[in-house]
């Protein structure tokens, strides 16, 4: 069993991005990422803080907008309009989930697709589904880069994706289909989850339920990618995979933390630098 070391790979990406930022700076371009956080969800605040620090570390200017929980839809749309027009801003990220009174879909659609470094705008979602160039959501993109780094080619594999979110499951499905895999997407309404997982050469789990994937659900020799980030009562981080039991059956598996998480941030930085190059 080999651990897929997302921390180490993300560091390699960050080194490359640091030198790319240096080159851009010589041309007078400092990549800028505007990050919008509405309200005070502690997990979101943590993620946003990590994104901010990672930006600074590679030479991307992060422009934070921390807005109160009570922010109105019109105010947020107006901020996005300003950021869309700001030549110093190459990427715009609105941290999800937004408070319930806000219409997330309308907010995400208001971001100009060429600054949509999260890849959540319908234009970029459509491009991904048609295998055209566009911004790809950071977590699934990070998974693809991690597989590539370990010479794991999904072409022809039977893949089971658990979770159908717009952030992870659906874009993951499209990336894997585009890579030539046969993809089954399971979710909360799936009748017999185990029947699907047991057939899979490659499993990608992103639902937010600790120990959802158990050892008796995994084929001997499978590859397991754990996208879950769950905080336990003791304050430690665990994924969606019952790691200690599942790992011995795998050829490759991602740890949590240190697997997909760091890759997500590296891909956000990469998308932002890419946007800056297209200025």
Please state the closest distance from residue 249 (CB atom) to ligand GUN, in A: 28
Enter the tokens of residue 165: 């979110």
| Residue in 213, 155, 160, 154 with CA at minimum distance from that of residue 183 | 160
* Shortest spacing between CB 268 and ligand GUN, in angstroms: 7
Tell me which residue of 189, 199, 190 sits closest to 160, measured CA to CA: 199
Specify whether 115 is catalytic.
Answer: no
Q: Is 118 a catalytic residue?
A: yes
Element (H, E) at 265: helix 260-277
Token pair 């651990």 in the structure block, residue: 3
Neighbour tally for 133: CB within 10 Å: 8
Give the position of tokens 């590679």: 58
Helix (H, G, I), strand (E, B) or coil at 256: coil
C-beta closer to ligand GUN: residue 93 or 238? 93
Task: Spell out the alpha helix ranges (H) of 207-259.
Answer: 243-246
CB of residue 23 to ligand GUN, shortest distance in Å: 27
Instruction: State the catalytic residue, choosing from 90, 95, 115, 226.
Output: 95
Residues 6+ apart with CB under 8 A from 29: 276, 279
Nearer to ligand GUN, 139 or 272 (CB): 139
Binding positions for ligand GUN, rule: CB under 6 A: 93-96, 118, 138-139, 167
Of the candidates 69, 35, 31, 33, the residue with the CA atom closest to the CA atom of residue 49: 35
Alpha-carbon gap, residue 58 to 56, rounded angstroms: 6
C-beta of residue 13 within 8 angstroms of C-beta of residue 274: no
Residue 229 assigned as binding residue: yes
| Least distance between ligand GUN and beta carbon 73 (Å) | 17
Of 51, 127, 145, 170, which residue is the catalytic one? 51
Nearer to ligand GUN, 62 or 139 (CB): 139
Residue 80 is labelled as binding a ligand: no
Residue with tokens 């907008």: 65
Q: Which of 90, 116, 118, 242 is catalytic?
A: 118
Name the residue nearer to ligand GUN (CB basis): 91 or 157. Answer: 91
From the CB of 77, what's the least distance to ligand GUN, in Å? 16
Phi-psi region of 99 (alpha: psi -120 to 50; beta: other; left: phi over 0): beta
- Pick the closer one to ligand GUN by CB: 218 or 229: 229
116 is annotated as an active-site residue = no
Q: Where are the beta strands (DSSP E) in 18-167?
A: 32-38, 61-67, 91-94, 158-162
Residue nearest to ligand GUN (CB): 96
- Please tell me whether 164 is known to bind a ligand: yes
The answer to the question of whether 163 is labelled as a binding residue is yes
Which residues participate in catalysis according to the annotation?
51, 95, 118
**Residues within the annotated binding site for NADP(+)?**
163-165, 229
């Amino acid at each position: 069993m080999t651990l897929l070391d997302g921390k180490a790979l993300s560091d390699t990406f960050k080194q490359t991005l640091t030198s790319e930022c240096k080159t851009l700076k010589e041309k007078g371009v400092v990549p800028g990422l505007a990050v919008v956080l509405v309200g005070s969800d502690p997990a979101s605040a943590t993620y946003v803080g990590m994104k901010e620090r990672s930006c600074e570390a590679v030479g991307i200017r992060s422009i934070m907008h921390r807005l109160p929980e009570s922010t109105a839809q019109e105010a947020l749309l107006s901020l996005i309009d300003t950021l869309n027009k700001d030549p110093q801003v190459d990427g715009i990220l609105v941290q999800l989930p937004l408070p319930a009174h806000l219409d997330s879909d309308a907010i995400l659609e208001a971001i100009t697709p060429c600054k949509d470094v999260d890849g959540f705008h319908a234009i970029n979602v459509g491009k991904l589904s048609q295998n055209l160039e566009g911004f790809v959501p950071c977590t699934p993109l990070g998974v693809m880069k991690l597989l590539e780094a370990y010479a794991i080619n999904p072409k022809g594999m039977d893949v089971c994706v658990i979770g159908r979110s717009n952030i992870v499951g659906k874009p993951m499905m499209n990336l894997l289909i585009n890579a030539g895999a046969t993809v089954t997407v399971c979710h909360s309404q799936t009748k017999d989850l185990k029947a699907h997982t047991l057939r899979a050469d490659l499993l990608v789990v992103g639902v937010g339920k600790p120990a959802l994937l158990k050892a008796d659900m995994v084929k001997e020799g499978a590859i397991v990618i754990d996208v879950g980030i769950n905080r336990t009562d003791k304050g430690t981080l665990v994924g969606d995979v019952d790691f200690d039991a599942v790992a011995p059956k795998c050829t490759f598996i991602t740890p949590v933390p240190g697997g997909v998480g760091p890759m997500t941030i590296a891909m956000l930085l990469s998308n932002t630098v890419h946007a800056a190059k297209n200025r």
